[in-house]
Amino acid sequence: KPGEQKHPKEPSSLQCMHLAVVACGDRLEETLIMLKSAVLFSNRRLCFHIFAEDSLKPEFEKKLKEWPSSYTKKFESNIYPITFSVGNAQEWKKLFKPCAAQRLFLPVILKDVDSLLYVDTDVLFLRPIDDIWHLLREFNSTQLAAMAPEHEIPKIGWYSRFARHPYYGTTGVNSGVMLMNLTRIRSTQFKNSLIPGGLTWEEMLYPLYQKYKNYITWGDQDLLNIIFYFNPECLYVFPCQWNYRPDHCMYGSNCRGAEEEGVSILHGNRGVYHDDKQPTFRALYEVIRDFPFEDNLFQSLYYPLQSKFLDTVHTLCGRIPQVFLKQIEKTMKKVYENRVIVYLGANHRY
């Protein structure tokens, strides 16, 4: 309209919710199921940043193209080789699991990305990524990353019992789900145990690894704990339902947030999607894996999930099915309502 002020178009990097994952070895299927859970429920457009071994790249490209167009239009994907910008690449590759240390280099590699959600391959989204993405707005002026505690109860926590290096807070943090403001990370001088002054993220990584390499068990997660031990004001801690692991239910239920709201992000670490140790985790993984994209969510996802859960009620985690089902049921209702509203709107005639 004449005289109407035009707002500048939001740059595509801001329109996108950026999701990064690192896949090596036999993690192709697991990564694809994680990406599928992200696309199934999210509202805003997604930008996937997949760091993968060269042998996996063609498979990722092929499989993602096979998804129906109603889903492929919701995301764009970039696949990158595994690279380490400082230090010895072979050493970094051997740290904990193959390639896991790649996540430490995301601020350096993705120079044009402002904010990012990094997840391990064994993560499943049970609600829209939009909801965890909104937590970026809750960061105060010094916070530049967000993670969940490794444990809620210090006496059963790994770090509080066994760590031989500094770690964040009373129980340490788990890096399987990590929200990052990369712009802030790149521009911050971090306090450290190496020199009296500050160091940039990139300057700090390799010397820090050299100093602590004989004391760390969980690789890059331990390095992150060391960094945030010296810079606690830089970390925003989100509750355990955003990174819910078998540890939260196998010793009795110890994630209050999940009991109240349900699990938001499931993290099936230690291979529990693929063995019989935690049937509840496996049930969720298999139902999302087997869900035919275009089918009815309740019929082909929620009802099979409910019946699979009935077989797990004798297990420690299966005793609390509402924790696993509450959030995903809520999410599916919303997705269904949105589709109905869009459909009615498109067919409405005045």
Contacts 24+ apart (CB under 8 A), 152-159: 152/240, 152/248, 152/254, 152/255, 152/256, 153/254, 156/247, 156/251, 156/254, 159/225
Kindly give, in sequence order, each residue whose CB lies less than 8 Å from that of residue 12, ignoring residues fewer than 6 positions away.
Answer: none
Kindly report which listed range (184-188, 210-214, 237-241) carries the lowest average pLDDT score: 210-214
Mean of the pLDDT values across residues 5-27?
A: 71
- Taking only the tens place, the pLDDT of each residue in 310-344 is 999 999 899 988 999 999 999 989 888 877 766 56
How far is CA 55 from each of CA 209, 221, 333, rounded to the nearest angstrom?
Answer: 28, 26, 39
Kindly give, in sequence order, each residue whose CB lies less than 8 Å from that of residue 193, ignoring residues fewer than 6 positions away.
Answer: 166, 208, 211, 226, 230
Domains in the chain: boundaries: 17-238, 241-345
Mean of the pLDDT values across residues 80-109?
A: 80
**Is residue 77 predicted with pLDDT exceeding 60?**
yes
31 burial type by CB count under 10 A (0-12 exposed, 13-18 middle, 19+ buried): buried
- Taking only the tens place, the pLDDT of each residue in 190-226 is 999 889 999 999 999 999 988 988 877 767 888 999 9
Say what percent of the chain tops pLDDT 90: 66
- What is the value of pTM for the model shown? 0.91
Tokens 């740059």 belong to: 11
Distance between CA atoms of residues 114 and 283, nearest Å: 35
What's the pLDDT band for 349 if we cut at 50, 70, 90? Answer: very low
User: In this predicted structure, what is the pLDDT of residue 90?
Assistant: 73
Fold of 17-238: Spore Coat Polysaccharide Biosynthesis Protein SpsA; Chain A (3.90.550)
Mean of the pLDDT values across residues 72-87?
A: 90
